[in-house]
Amino acid sequence: MRLAEVEAIMLNVGLLVFAGFIFFIIYDLAKKSKAGKFGTFILFFALGLGLAVFLIKNLIVYLMDIGV
């Protein structure tokens, strides 16, 4: 396995861990602020949207690189 392949795998694993940590932070924020169901939904939607856009951007760049 080449170094570039290892780096690509570790980038994907790192992004997955990062996403999980971000969602844990959002959940903890909602729990500590006693946001309720609707408030928790808004927090996940608003703060999770930034993470989703970041991940979608990486997916688009990957798809452009392989020539789809």
Q: Is the pTM of this model over 0.75?
A: no
Between the alpha carbon of residue 23 and those of residues 1, 3, 19, 65, the distances in Å are 32, 30, 6, 29
> What range defines the domain where residue 21 resides?
3-66
The count of domains in the chain is 1
Counting residues of the chain whose pLDDT is more than 70, the rounded percentage is 99
What would the mean pLDDT of 31-48 be, rounded to a whole number? 91
Residue 2 contacts by C-beta under 8 Å, 6 or more apart in sequence? none
